[in-house]
């Protein structure tokens, strides 16, 4: 453990994916090693084999508890599984079960204050479900583990932040899942998070419309007038600086220009297409509203390239550094409140 640096736990994700590789690459990067004291939650055997096979020469050490963390350059691994016969790049219940154990252990440690933040490597949702975890992804699972009801998914890079009103659901069901109450809740949560986690004193938020041309006065749909606009109006009454629903085809141009600090979007691909077009290599996934800090790379397990040594660690590096920045922002915020 590096004295004076925050302890960041990194869950290994699906062992059959690129998680082991990108973690080892990220932790050898000086941008990470100088900013935090990492501990990997995963499978020591798989990490050791990955390091040797890819010639990464990572100084790994297996520990049984965080009490064994010591000063030095070794990378500690809290080994939580020992999977035999793992087939890289393939869906399996064993891998999904292990990934769930890594995540739940990380959440428990964070809630106890044993670690400062949790960074999660990618999971495969099919394997995750086969392994006994009936959740569509990290976001919902972590909300359950932390008993959080007011949460949302943010994805971000240096130039753009997006927040989702609906997450993983069929496009045809988006409209029926929208409500004034949930939209208002997520707008207010976005405002609080921009203040508390990113240190913005006066966040500027844009609300993307669901329909083309923001419904064109009802010609292309009523969701803007009936669901989105009332939520924006109520949010402004509560002190949130947010726009009325704006056409998404022009809104993202303005967001990239710097007009807004975040864009709240009705559905998954509306938010992620512009985000990944700009920040495919370094995008970060953040769960807003949790009592712990959780970030993740904005990509999947990449089974097609797993084990080949060509996976980029940039998104994971960004996720780790974002967690560190969020910790700093929260400490500054708490100090300001205490001083006031």
> Going by CATH, does the domain composed of 149-286 fall within 3.40.718.10?
yes
d(CA 254, CA 25): 35
Q: Number of helices (H) and strands (E), helices first, in the chain?
A: 13, 12
From 14, 247, 220, 230, select the one nearest 126 (Cα to Cα).
14
- For residues 160-189, give the mean pLDDT: 95
**Residue 147, token pair as written in the block:** 């008993």
Contact 257, 201 (CB under 8 A): no
Q: In the chain, where are the structural domains located?
A: 1-148+290-340, 149-286
Q: Write out pLDDT tens, residues 59-95.
A: 999 999 998 887 778 999 999 998 988 999 999 999 9
Handedness of CA 104, 136, 207, 278 (dihedral sign): positive
pLDDT of residue 67: 87
CB atoms within 10 A of CB 288: 22
Give the C-alpha distances (Å, rounded to integers) separating 313 from 152, 282, 309. 25, 9, 11
pLDDT of residue 117: 98
Q: Residue 251: pLDDT band by 50, 70, 90 thresholds?
A: very high
Q: Tell me which H or E stretch contains 248.
A: helix 248-257
d(CA 87, CA 129): 18
pLDDT of residue 224: 92
Model pTM score: 0.92
The lowest-confidence range among 1-5, 220-224, 295-299 is 1-5
Q: Write out pLDDT tens, residues 109-159.
A: 999 999 999 999 999 999 999 999 999 889 999 999 999 999 999 999 999
Q: Residue 338: pLDDT band by 50, 70, 90 thresholds?
A: low
CATH of region 1-148+290-340? 3.40.718.10
pLDDT of residue 72: 75
pLDDT of residue 336: 63
Pairing of strands 75-79, 284-288: unpaired
d(CA 282, CA 155): 11
* Bridge partners (DSSP) listed for residue 41: 11, 78
Q: Write out pLDDT tens, residues 286-320.
A: 999 999 999 999 999 999 999 999 999 999 999 99
pLDDT of residue 333: 76
pLDDT of residue 340: 55
**Residue 111, token pair as written in the block:** 């809630």
Residue 337: is its pLDDT beyond 70?
no
Per the listing, tokens 């020992």 go with 82
d(CA 3, CA 102): 25
Fold agreement (1-148+290-340, 149-286): yes
Contact 127, 160 (CB under 8 A): no
pLDDT of residue 193: 97
């Amino acid at each position: 453990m590096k004295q004076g640096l925050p302890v960041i736990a990194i869950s290994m994700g699906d062992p059959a994916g690129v998680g082991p590789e990108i973690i080892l690459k990220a932790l050898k990067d000086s941008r990470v090693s100088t900013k935090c004291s990492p501990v990997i939650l995963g499978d020591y055997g798989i990490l050791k084999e990955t390091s040797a096979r890819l010639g990464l020469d990572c100084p790994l050490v297996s520990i049984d508890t965080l009490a064994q963390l010591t000063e030095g350059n070794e990378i500690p691994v809290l080994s939580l599984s020992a999977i035999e016969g793992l087939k890289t790049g393939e869906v399996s219940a064993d891998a999904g079960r292990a990934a769930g154990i890594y995540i739940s252990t990380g959440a428990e440690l964070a809630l106890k204050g044993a670690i400062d933040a949790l960074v999660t490597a990618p999971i495969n949702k099919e394997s995750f479900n086969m392994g006994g975890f009936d959740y569509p992804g990290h976001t919902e699972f972590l909300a359950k583990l932390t008993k959080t009801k007011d949460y949302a998914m943010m994805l971000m890079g240096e130039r753009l932040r997006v927040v989702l009103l609906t997450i993983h659901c069929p496009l045809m069901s988006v409209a029926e899942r929208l409500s004034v109450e949930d939209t208002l809740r997520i707008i207010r949560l976005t405002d609080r998070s921009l203040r508390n986690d990113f240190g913005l004193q006066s966040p500027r938020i844009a609300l993307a419309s669901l329909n083309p041309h923001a419904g064109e006065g009802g010609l292309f749909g009523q969701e803007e007038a009936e669901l989105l606009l009332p939520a924006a109006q109520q949010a402004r009454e509560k002190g949130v600086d947010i726009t009325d629903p704006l056409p998404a085809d022009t809104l993202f141009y303005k967001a990239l220009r710097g007009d807004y600090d975040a864009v709240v979007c009705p559905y998954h691909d509306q938010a992620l297409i512009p985000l990944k077009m700009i920040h495919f290599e370094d995008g970060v996934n953040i769960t807003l509203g949790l009592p712990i800090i959780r970030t993740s790379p904005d990509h999947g397990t990449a089974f097609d390239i797993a084990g080949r040594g060509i996976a980029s660690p940039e998104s994971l590096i960004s996720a780790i550094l974002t967690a560190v920045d969020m910790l700093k922002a929260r400490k500054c915020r708490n100090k300001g409140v205490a001083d006031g």
